[in-house]
Amino acid sequence: MRRRNYRLFTLLLILCLFSFSCQIHTGWANYTVAEPAISPRNPGGDATRVRILFSNVEAGPGMRQLPATSYEVYMSTSTSDGEYQRIITIYGTTDSAETDPNVNLTAAPAASGHDLQVDILATTFSLQRGVAYSFRMKAINDEHNIVSELSGNAVNFLQDLDKASISLIDSFNSDTGEVAVRMDEPVTGANEYSIVLSSDENNATGGNVIETISVDRDDLLSDSGARVTVNTGNLTEGGDYYIHLRANDTRDEGTGQDSYSDSIQITYEP
């Protein structure tokens, strides 16, 4: 009788443990990317940091009873489990995060259900334009050796800016150097615009640049366009020159995220 009761007790104990284990191990949860996906320039540096926001970080019903003692963040260009690269381990708080100059933990969860924000140095990890990156997090309870994973869909970072479509409101005034440029619609992601006067039809960078003038986005979109005056002292009589509109995202410092419109030819004939 005692042996039967002992077996019954053992069976019930195993069932309870199995049930408890099923409660702890949870499936996938979604994460989101903080807006903007690319953070402003980091103080004292010129490299781009990509900001990832894991929302409502917790590992499901079981982990509410067993809070995570550490977190691990992984990155991959593939959804294959074997190709994920661990980029940081976080032990509870920002102060106890693994030291890594290429990763900046800007907000750590004090308990389950909080947001976790991680900035990674895009140039160090060789993030490429238009490539989809997946990020995965493991919430770990070391005492009970339990791991729960959080993941989500791949996200594209460092997308190229579209180039603006422009037109001249009036002909170039060779006597005053005045020209008015209108943009058909704003460039998504750009927060700075410049009119570039170049000596090359297809190149508005480097030694081809004669003059660069910052212009206001709203002026460019207005019916009268953005009206500027170029320095005619840099022009040669009878010479052909080219107007380009440069759209730039200054929040993406270090990666050269900008675009140039197709050029419009002008001739200096005072």
In degrees, to the nearest 5, what angle opens at C-alpha 38 toward C-alphas 86 and 166?
A: 145
Confidence check: pLDDT of 168 > 80: yes
- Cβ pair 8, 14 in contact under 8 A: no
Report, as an integer, the average pLDDT of 162-190: 90
23-27, 43-47, 81-85, 121-125: the lowest-pLDDT one: 43-47
Report, as an integer, the average pLDDT of 74-83: 61
The whole-number pLDDT of residue 233 equals 94
Residue that wins the pLDDT comparison between 8 and 19:
8
Could you list the beta-strand ranges (E) of the chain.
49-57, 70-76, 85-90, 103-107, 114-121, 132-141, 146-151, 155-156, 166-168, 178-183, 192-198, 209-215, 226-229, 240-248, 258-260, 264-267
Residue that wins the pLDDT comparison between 176 and 119:
176
Band of the pLDDT at 244, cuts 50, 70, 90? very high
Maximum mean pLDDT: which of 118-127, 213-222, 252-261: 213-222
What tokens appear for 235 in the block?
Answer: 């022009």
User: DSSP secondary structure string, 45-101?
Assistant: ----EEEEEEEEE---HHHHHS--SEEEEEEESSS-GGG-EEEEEE-SSGGGSPP-T
Band of the pLDDT at 225, cuts 50, 70, 90? very high
Which domains does the chain carry? 27-156 (2.60.40.10), 166-267 (2.60.40)
> 13-35: b or e for each residue (b if 16 or more CB lie within 10 Å)?
eeeeeeeeeeebebeebebebbe
Band of the pLDDT at 48, cuts 50, 70, 90? very low
Confidence check: pLDDT of 29 > 70: no
Confidence check: pLDDT of 258 > 60: yes
Mean pLDDT of the chain: 67
Q: Which residues pair with 72 in a beta bridge?
A: 89, 138
